[in-house]
């Protein structure tokens, strides 16, 4: 890990004036303290990674607002007040829109506390090889590199502009993981097998290709519906696991998987408080296309308003399905199959 110590001494790869560097370092240190106080950096190894990797290097600018009203905040803005807004935003515990196309969000920097929770849940061990699906800014890949070493990290994104930008951000801090431009749904067979797959974009289902690129016992952590599914891979044809309690909202995966399910128009029949209930929305999306919204509501109430942890997913050669409490129990719903790209 000697290289990591050297990286930490590079003043975060910045050529900014000393005063600006000081402000960024102070903001970075404050973020690490806040995440530690929030209980999401209990693992000393991840706390060291977040301390060594500054977010501002990976978010030189971001967008605020919606629709035609987007405003770009930039770390090199000539207006000191605007630079201060940028810095506050970068080190706030919020997701940041980093790339728009035709007014639509195509890439973002995830909420740091959620990143920390996901990295902890990934349960990596020394020597593990990790595939990240959804490179984004490269911030997450840098944290993985700090923990595991560059040669153990592969990250994939569909958009060449995104991967090229991430490479530049990573190189500023001396990190050089394998950054691949390609369809994340197809994984990265040339770098397999993997011990862990970490997904930072929402899926409608799990691409079967990933299982064949995993070692037996590997862990896949991925956003599905509005939750995080943690799957244990048995072999190239089977994986199974439960959702974590943590809510998760990410940009959808683009590529060879089917479009994610949407809530049925019949949802307007539901009581307003249920439509607004975040845990019920999770179940409604997870069972969309199988259960009528009213059926989903009756089941959810009848089963004691189950939280995410009671739901799980099975992936097999025969298909994919979600379930409540028991994969062999009475409440099982098909997730569907990938569609050709």
The pLDDT-based confidence of 105 (bands split at 50, 70, 90) is confident
**Residue 249 placed within a domain:** no
Q: What is the pLDDT of residue 3?
A: 44
Q: What is the pLDDT of residue 258?
A: 40
Residue 96 above 70 pLDDT?
A: yes
Same domain as 281, residue 199? no
**Residue 339 placed within a domain:** no
User: What CA–CA distance (Å, rounded) separates 263 from 32?
Assistant: 37
The pLDDT-based confidence of 332 (bands split at 50, 70, 90) is very high
**Residue 314 placed within a domain:** yes
Same domain as 181, residue 45? yes
Same domain as 193, residue 127? yes
Lowest mean pLDDT among 99-103, 247-251, 314-318: 99-103
Same domain as 156, residue 7? yes
Length of the chain: 341
Same domain as 171, residue 121? yes
Please list the active-site residues. Answer: 107
More confident residue, 269 or 126: 126
User: Closest Cα to residue 229, out of 216, 217, 246, 215?
Assistant: 246
Residue 5 above 80 pLDDT?
A: no
Same domain as 208, residue 80? yes
Instruction: Look over the chain and give the mean of its residue pLDDT values, rounded to a whole number.
Output: 88
Same domain as 271, residue 227? no
Taking only the tens place, the pLDDT of each residue in 237-254 is 999 999 999 999 888 886
What CATH number is associated with residue 188? 3.40.50.150
Same domain as 275, residue 183? no
Same domain as 174, residue 83? yes
Same domain as 234, residue 204? yes
**Residue 224 placed within a domain:** yes
pTM of the model: 0.89
Percentage of residues in the chain with pLDDT exceeding 70? 86
Same domain as 178, residue 44? yes
Lowest mean pLDDT among 199-203, 230-234, 261-265: 261-265
Taking only the tens place, the pLDDT of each residue in 10-49 is 445 455 567 778 999 999 999 999 999 999 999 999 999 9
User: What CA–CA distance (Å, rounded) separates 132 from 260?
Assistant: 20
**Residue 258 placed within a domain:** no
The whole domain housing 61 covers 2-243
Residue 8 above 80 pLDDT?
A: no
Same domain as 301, residue 229? no
User: What CA–CA distance (Å, rounded) separates 176 from 209?
Assistant: 25
**Domain total for the chain?**
2
**Residue 255 placed within a domain:** no
Residue 9 above 60 pLDDT?
A: no
User: What CA–CA distance (Å, rounded) separates 294 from 327?
Assistant: 23
Q: What is the pLDDT of residue 6?
A: 40
**Residue 8 placed within a domain:** yes
With tokens 């079967």, the residue in question is 208
């Amino acid at each position: 890990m000697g290289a990591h110590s050297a990286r930490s001494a590079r003043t975060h790869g910045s050529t900014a004036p000393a005063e600006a560097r000081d402000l960024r370092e102070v903001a970075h240190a404050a973020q690490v303290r806040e995440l530690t106080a929030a209980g999401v950096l209990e693992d000393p190894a991840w706390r060291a990674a977040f301390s060594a990797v500054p977010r501002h290097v990976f978010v030189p600018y971001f967008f605020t607002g919606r629709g035609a009203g987007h405003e770009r905040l930039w770390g090199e803005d000539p207006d000191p007040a605007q630079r201060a807004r940028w810095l506050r935003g970068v080190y706030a515990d919020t997701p940041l829109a980093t790339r728009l196309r035709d007014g639509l969000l195509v890439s973002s920097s995830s909420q740091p506390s959620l990143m920390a929770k996901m990295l902890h849940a990934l349960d990596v061990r020394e020597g593990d090889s990790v595939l990240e699906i959804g490179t984004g800014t490269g911030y997450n890949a840098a944290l993985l590199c700090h923990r595991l070493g560059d040669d153990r990290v592969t990250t994939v994104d569909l958009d060449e502009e995104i991967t090229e930008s991430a490479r530049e951000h990573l190189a500023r801090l001396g990190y050089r993981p394998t950054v691949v431009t390609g369809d994340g749904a197809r994984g990265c067979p040339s770098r397999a097998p993997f011990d862990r797959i970490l997904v930072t974009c929402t899926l409608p289902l799990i691409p079967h290709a990933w299982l064949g690129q995993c070692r037996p016992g590997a862990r896949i952590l991925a956003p599905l519906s509005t939750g995080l599914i943690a799957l244990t891979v048995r072999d190239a044809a089977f994986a199974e696991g439960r959702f974590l309690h943590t809510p998760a909202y990410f940009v959808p995966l683009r590529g060879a998987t089917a479009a994610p399910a949407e809530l049925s128009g019949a949802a307007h029949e539901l009581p307003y408080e249920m439509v607004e209930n975040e845990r019920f929305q999770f179940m409604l999306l997870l069972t969309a296309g199988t259960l009528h919204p009213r059926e989903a509501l009756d089941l959810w109430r009848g089963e004691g308003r189950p939280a995410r942890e009671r739901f799980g997913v099975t992936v097999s050669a025969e298909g994919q399905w979600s379930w409540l409490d028991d994969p062999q129990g009475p409440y099982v719903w098909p997730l569907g199959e990938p569609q050709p790209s």
